[in-house]
Amino acid sequence: MPTATESRRTGIRHGAYGGTVTTQVIVLNGGSSSGTSSIARHLQALLPGPWLVLGIDTLIEALPPAAPTDDDGIAFHPDGEVRVGARFRDLEAAWNKGLAAMARAGARVIVDDVFLGGAASQERLRRALDGPRVAWVGVRCDAEVAAGRERARGDRVPGMAARQADSVHAGVTYDLEVDTTHTEAIGCARTVAGWLRERDGPPAAGDARPEPVGQTEPVGRPAPVDHRDLADVLADSGRALTPLLGADWSVPAGALEWSCRATAAHIAHDLLAYAGQLAALPDDGYLPLDLVVHPDATPAQALRAVAACGKLLCDAVAAAPSEARAWHWGPCDPEGFADMGTAEILLHTWDITRGLGAPWAMPGAACTAVLRRLFPEAPYREGDPASVLLWCTGRGELPDRPRRASWTWAAAVAD
């Protein structure tokens, strides 16, 4: 059998939640940028056995590139409205029957969906899924928070998130609801996995596994960081720093010698450097270029540079095949650059907020992913993920472990 690390190469993981799961289809319904895709990926890592993730985006990506019209296809309007025509409905009906056929053939399927028609959309899918055991899960998110994620991602029509935040849930009945407004995707996925375990029965004999908790080493390997996770962290950082633009950014960023403004410029510099490596794939060093944020740039302009360079890195990670390698003190894969970008954003946002007197709590799931890849020997059991990451990078202490005077992370892979 493959190890946990090998299993991510094959796409099949051993779930952290063992036992009897008789559900064959999990339907996640939520508006654009609500976090359904991230929850689906975490469920693949948490649940026993392989689960396929298929969704409305999969269907849309399979459509021919011809320009659609409201009458026959699916059209995305500049104000964020999405309209579908009769021909698309026919294709959607065939798609839904295909999902049901896979489930009846024995596959376990997570459907990542957006019920544009609310209850009517659910009813169409319910009729197609007659037979397999289905779990209907609503994924809610405050419209303002979803819109912020949408802006950070930059790959969605502006306005979709706000339009869909409530409308996709109108009249829909669920077995379970989660909310990503204040809860990370991994936390919502754990809620779904735990609920499935309770609904479907006790663990099979000899197959009980402990649930992941904040004070212990994560069970199994978290889902690899990708461009969507990176975009989520970038959006979180923007939400933390934007309200502080009226403060004095010339003060030191926490314990760093740099000012808060210079630290923001540094984030942008490193994100662009990582993006350049993934675009050019050099194997012997970094590209001979540097980003210089003009010394007269305001904090707001510096943050726009961070957002722009973060978007470039997200796009580079999304475009690079998993087998791509670029130099970072050895060959590094796209996931490694995504983890390093995530770490830069997390840690330096933490530094800046300390300097400005508005402490920010780093998201635990993102910290866990960074630790697993960049600090594999981290003392996971000696604190929550954020505290352990701060210790690993010389920013904090752990019980019986003094603050580190020097540190480095390991991103290169051994091919």
The pTM is what? 0.57
Q: Is the dihedral of CA 123, 145, 157, 54 positive or negative?
A: negative
State whether 179 and 48 are in the same domain.
yes
Is residue 345 within 8 Å of 269, Cβ to Cβ?
no
State whether 382 and 277 are in the same domain.
yes
For residue 332 the two structure tokens come to 């590094």
For this structure, is 57 an active site residue? yes
Domain that holds residue 332: 227-392
What digits encode the pLDDT tens for the residues 53-90? 998 888 888 887 764 555 577 777 887 788 887 888 88
State whether 33 and 169 are in the same domain.
yes
Has residue 40 been placed in a domain? yes
Q: Where are the beta strands (DSSP E) in 150-230?
A: 176-179
- For the ranges 14-28, 238-252, 364-378, the lowest mean pLDDT is seen at 14-28
111's enclosing H/E stretch is strand 109-113
Q: What is the 3-state secondary structure (H, E, C) of 290-301?
A: CCCCCCCCCHHH
pLDDT of residue 243 exceeding 90 = yes
203 vs 385: which has the higher pLDDT:
385
What digits encode the pLDDT tens for the residues 283-314? 999 999 999 999 899 999 999 999 999 999 99
CA 229 to chain centre: 3
Has residue 220 been placed in a domain? no
The C-alpha atoms of residue 54 and residue 113 are separated, in whole angstroms, by 8
State whether 137 and 13 are in the same domain.
yes
The C-alpha atoms of residue 140 and residue 166 are separated, in whole angstroms, by 8
State whether 236 and 373 are in the same domain.
yes
State whether 242 and 327 are in the same domain.
yes
What pLDDT does 127 receive? 93
Question: Residue 355 maps to which CATH number?
Answer: 1.20.120.450
Q: Is 99 exposed, middle or buried (0-12, 13-18, 19+ CB in 10 A)?
A: buried
Has residue 163 been placed in a domain? yes
pLDDT of residue 204 exceeding 80 = no
Q: Which of 200, 235, 254 is the last residue of a domain?
A: 200
Catalytic entry in 57, 72, 142, 315? 57
Question: Residue 41 maps to which CATH number?
Answer: 3.40.50.300
What pLDDT does 184 receive? 80
State whether 266 and 380 are in the same domain.
yes
Has residue 410 been placed in a domain? no
What pLDDT does 27 receive? 96
State whether 296 and 257 are in the same domain.
yes
What pLDDT does 153 receive? 67
Has residue 401 been placed in a domain? no
Has residue 27 been placed in a domain? yes
State whether 251 and 196 are in the same domain.
no
State whether 161 and 233 are in the same domain.
no
Average pLDDT, the chain: 85
State whether 81 and 116 are in the same domain.
yes
pLDDT of residue 336 exceeding 90 = yes
Has residue 412 been placed in a domain? no
pLDDT of residue 271 exceeding 60 = yes
- For the ranges 17-31, 67-81, 264-278, 289-303, the lowest mean pLDDT is seen at 67-81
Q: How many domains does the chain have?
A: 2
